[in-house]
Structure 1
Amino acid sequence: MADADGSTMPHSGRSSDLTGNQEGSPAAVLNTGLLERYAGPCPRYTSYPTADRFRALCANDSGTQPWDALNSVQALSLYVHIPFCRSLCYFCACNKVITQQYGLASSYLDHVLREAEWYRTRVARAPVVQLHLGGGTPTFLNDGDLRRLMFGLGDVFDLRSGDQVEYSIEADPRVLECETLETLRELGFNRLSLGIQDFNPSVQRAINRICSPEQVRLLTEAARQCGFGSISYDLIYGLPGQDVASLDKTLDTVLDLAPDRIALYHYAHLPDRFKAQRLINSDLMPPPSHKIAMQLAASQRLTGAGYVFLGMDHFARPDDALARAAEEKRLARNFQGYTLMPADALVGLGASAISYSRDGYWQNHHSNKEYAAAIQERGEAIARGWNLSDDDRLRQWLIMELMCHLRVSRSDIQARTGQPFEHAFAVELARLQPMFADGLLGLNNRDLYVTERGRWFLRNAAAAFDTYLHRPDQHARYSRVL
């Protein structure tokens, strides 16, 4: 979810490079002092305002709600939250239900499809250019229910097939069958995300997620044979028992399998907020300096192997569509992270799912029990949200420009505000002075731009423009950047 300001005033002098690299090498742009200064808590900005700001919704001044804008969308994104998992991963902070009772999932789908019906008269028959099944473990569903879900969604929404859309699913390689991959391709899915985390057996035991490289290799090869156009791996650094050497061995295996995309996430250990994390032996947690060393070494390894660093924690092969979109300034960002299929609106279905339109956000009840009761009572389960003000829209646009295109045009700012950049955002530019001094950002006659080393600190740059983050009553807690 979202986080607090981790920026500090710049230090003088140079700090040592953890990898011992010389200037000009891939890792030379970073050093320990720089990473330490910006490693504090900060929002991830999958939305603006961030979801922790959402409140009970009232109609705006014109008497409408954010979902009323769905009737004019030209392209739609669709998200379905499937919260069920067969076993508990100790690191996980997702909204999930651990169960062996498959009937719970089947009845949950009844509610999801009924919720979809609520949107039938509210959403324009716009093509769904992006669809994502997240969780939990979406592949907890059997093939029959996967078909039931997609056919039911297709009855309400305009689902397409082919390379002009991106339909993706998160999968646990421990429980995914090759036959299910064939079913998913038949249903139009063309992108697969596998939750790897780490291949080291000791680390896997510490987080209760045992998965062999052989399982992942088998599924990766099968997915390619089925015709999945893009396969991504989720990795995490900072897990219990990890160090630079063990993570490097995991990357040996990953690079040998050559996924199209890699997400290298920082593990946020927040046991006071997430009960499952209390099962992790705190004595095994690497100190912050070791996590920084892991991040630096892993990033160098991936870029050295030819992956394009998109920013924050995402890497892609140069021939992947996401890397091409970044090169052509077509990259977009939503609740699932970076995407090349921008849509006018998102409809989120299921417990805790978030939707958005040009007018704001709305989020469903978090618990399955409350979600199901609301669907049975009124066909929707909206619990809270946010009506966007004109200032929200301006900052939302600016933050997404920085995070996706790595620059914001001065002329665009003036066109939107009627003022020069320095006047419209004088306070924010003052907050960014440490980042200018550290060479993470630049400002010229045309743009505010992110430098090569600044790509690691996009969250920090975006936070300077978050008006809610800097209010005196700010009490939100966020994950650390590193």
Structure 2
Amino acid sequence: MLDFDKFTKYSKPGPRYTSYPTALEFSESFDYDAYLSKLHSQDPSRELSLYFHLPFCKNACYFCGCNVVFTSKEDKKERYIDYLTRELQILSTHIDVNRPVIQLHFGGGTPTFFDADQLHRIITAIKSHFKNFAEGAEISCEIDPRHIDEAQMKVLSDAGFNRVSFGIQDFDDKVQVAVHRVQPYDITKTAMELARKYNMVSVNVDLIYGLPHQSLETFKKTLDLAISLDPDRFAVFNYAHVPWLKKTMRKIDETTLPHPAEKLSIMRYTIDHMEERGYKMIGMDHFAKPEDELFKAIEKGELHRNFQGYTTKGGADLIGIGLTSIGEGADYYAQNFKDMESYEAAIDAGKLPHERGVALNEDDRIRQYVIMELMSNFKLDISRFERLYGVKFAEYFADAVEALKPFEADGLLTITPSSIECSTTGTLLIRNIAMPFDAYMKRHASSDKAFSKTV
């Protein structure tokens, strides 16, 4: 059993490390010319990963931290398709579109808020520029089960989409009403059946713990209902309550949110219950069946993490396309405009809609490697790190190793001259374990509104 008093002491604001440096370090000093320079100098032997942000939703889900545009107007979606097509045309003049594409992902918003014909036109525009999709490419789409029909699923399947992710969050009626997302089990089951009918090789479902009115007992029921759908993967996220960033979160009554100890008990139960049902934990908050490629990757220590989540496809240049999308190269991150007016104005001027980003220096890249290894594989091969970067780990990270000693004393990890390895309990606090390696944390230490809490 967990000593909750001991482990809730680690509940403090911290990054989720979908990037390092985090988005807080992005700035407009990484300007348009800097971004073009990075695009033009990309290694032609590196493969491509494409992320498309389709930002529209019909209604607000109060827990959501995504960049969305709420609308019910068809003309807004049609206009966005036009600008997305023009952005692709501009992008094709700045990168080698013949490089192999190993990943394509539609995120949102609600990508399937676009109807079958609209999805078809978006995909056609993409493939008119990017024609070299690698064999076995990972082509995926996030789906709201309340907004999917057979025509849309057929369009995705015919276009080569082989992975989908369904948002569930929670099946409890009281929780669903509190977060403004009423989604009966039968609707989700129908969506799952469509995915299987159209041969999606991997189906993920998203759950969130830490939502209003949740308890261990209510979440047990949600978990069993979700497992009954037999997904290939699970993402079980810790709800990030950041009402100072997301206005819709202010509609949530904070007195109904579960205590950190309750959240830890939910996560601890989830890990045990998933393993009993044949799923294994991979990376932070994620689970997969043993035959899934993500599970095979973590066994080999080859799991990677980026803005699209966990993947086996490392070493590719990620290009973000669409409103607010983030791209990642070997030594930079770049983000498009977040507001539609600026996004459209850039494209009208014949430019990519780049707003800000960050160029990584050598120290950033060294720390990025360590943090992403810990976040992805829950361990760090120090010998391999030293071979790659030519620095002595114990000297370079003396302060971080010292900061991790309390974690080791609490049984959260083991540090040897050749490795750092998290215990099963330590994986629950992997964000905390990664934070001592973050050179920028001191800058944000005095703010309790920079990040969500780790527990």
Question: Normalising by the residue count of structure 2, what TM-score does the alignment of the two structures yield?
Answer: 0.94
Q: CA deviation at 1:40?
A: 1.7
Q: CA deviation at 1:304?
A: 2.0
Q: Distance in 1 between matches of 2:6 and 2:308?
A: 28
Cα shift readout 1:333-362 (whole Å, capped 9, x = no counterpart): 110111112242100011111111113111
Is the contact made by 2:283 and 2:377 (CA closer than 8 Å) also made in structure 1? no
Number of the residue aligned with 2:323: 351
Number of the residue aligned with 2:213: 241
Q: Which of these residues, 357, 366, 376, is aligned with residue 394 of structure 1?
A: 366
Matched residues, number? 453
Q: CA deviation at 1:61?
A: 12
1:144–1:63 Cα change, 3 Å: closer
Cα shift readout 1:65-105 (whole Å, capped 9, x = no counterpart): 33233352421110000110111111112111111101101
1:120–1:435 Cα change, 3 Å: same
Q: Distance in 2 between matches of 1:236 and 1:148?
A: 33
Matched, 1:140 2:113: yes
Equivalences for 1:202-213 in 2 at 5 Å? 202-213=174-185
Number of the residue aligned with 1:180: 152
Is the contact made by 1:67 and 1:356 (CA closer than 8 Å) also made in structure 2? no
Cα shift readout 1:96-150 (whole Å, capped 9, x = no counterpart): 1111101101111111121112221322221111111000000011111111111
Is the contact made by 2:19 and 2:306 (CA closer than 8 Å) also made in structure 1? yes
Is the contact made by 1:84 and 1:98 (CA closer than 8 Å) also made in structure 2? yes
Q: Which of these residues, 258, 262, 267, is aligned with residue 290 of structure 1?
A: 262
Secondary structure of 1:174's counterpart equals helix
Number of the residue aligned with 2:9: 37
Number of the residue aligned with 2:435: 463
Is the contact made by 2:30 and 2:356 (CA closer than 8 Å) also made in structure 1? no
Q: Distance in 1 between matches of 2:344 and 2:397?
A: 44
Q: Distance in 2 between matches of 1:401 and 1:281?
A: 37
Q: Which of these residues, 129, 134, 156, is aligned with residue 129 of structure 2?
A: 156
Q: Which of these residues, 81, 104, 119, is aligned with residue 131 of structure 1?
A: 104
Q: CA deviation at 1:291?
A: 2.1
Is the contact made by 2:178 and 2:212 (CA closer than 8 Å) also made in structure 1? yes
Q: CA deviation at 1:374?
A: 1.5
Matched, 1:481 2:436: no
Number of the residue aligned with 1:196: 168
Secondary structure of 1:40's counterpart equals coil
Number of the residue aligned with 2:409: 437
Question: Normalising by the residue count of structure 1, what TM-score does the alignment of the two structures yield?
Answer: 0.89
Q: Which structure 2 segments of 5+ residues have no match?
A: none
Q: Which structure 1 segments of 5+ residues have no match?
A: 1-16, 18-29
- Aligned residues with identical type, % of pairs: 37
Is the contact made by 2:101 and 2:134 (CA closer than 8 Å) also made in structure 1? no
Q: Distance in 1 between matches of 2:21 and 2:45?
A: 21
Is the contact made by 1:113 and 1:152 (CA closer than 8 Å) also made in structure 2? yes
Q: Distance in 2 between matches of 1:195 and 1:133?
A: 14
Q: Which runs of 4+ in 1 moved over 6 A?
A: 59-64
Is the contact made by 2:444 and 2:450 (CA closer than 8 Å) also made in structure 1? no
Cα shift readout 1:146-205 (whole Å, capped 9, x = no counterpart): 11111111122235275x111110111011112211111001110010000011111111
| Amino acid corresponding to residue 99 of structure 2 in structure 1 | A
Number of the residue aligned with 1:80: 52
Stretch moving more, 108-117 or 30-39: 30-39
Stretch moving more, 276-285 or 457-466: 276-285
Q: Distance in 2 between matches of 1:64 and 1:350?
A: 17
Is the contact made by 2:35 and 2:334 (CA closer than 8 Å) also made in structure 1? no
| Amino acid corresponding to residue 421 of structure 2 in structure 1 | Y
Q: Distance in 2 between matches of 1:411 and 1:363?
A: 34
Secondary structure of 2:147's counterpart equals coil
Q: CA deviation at 1:212?
A: 1.1
Q: Which of these residues, 217, 233, 248, is aligned with residue 261 of structure 1?
A: 233
Is the contact made by 1:55 and 1:384 (CA closer than 8 Å) also made in structure 2? yes
1:64–1:181 Cα change, 3 Å: closer
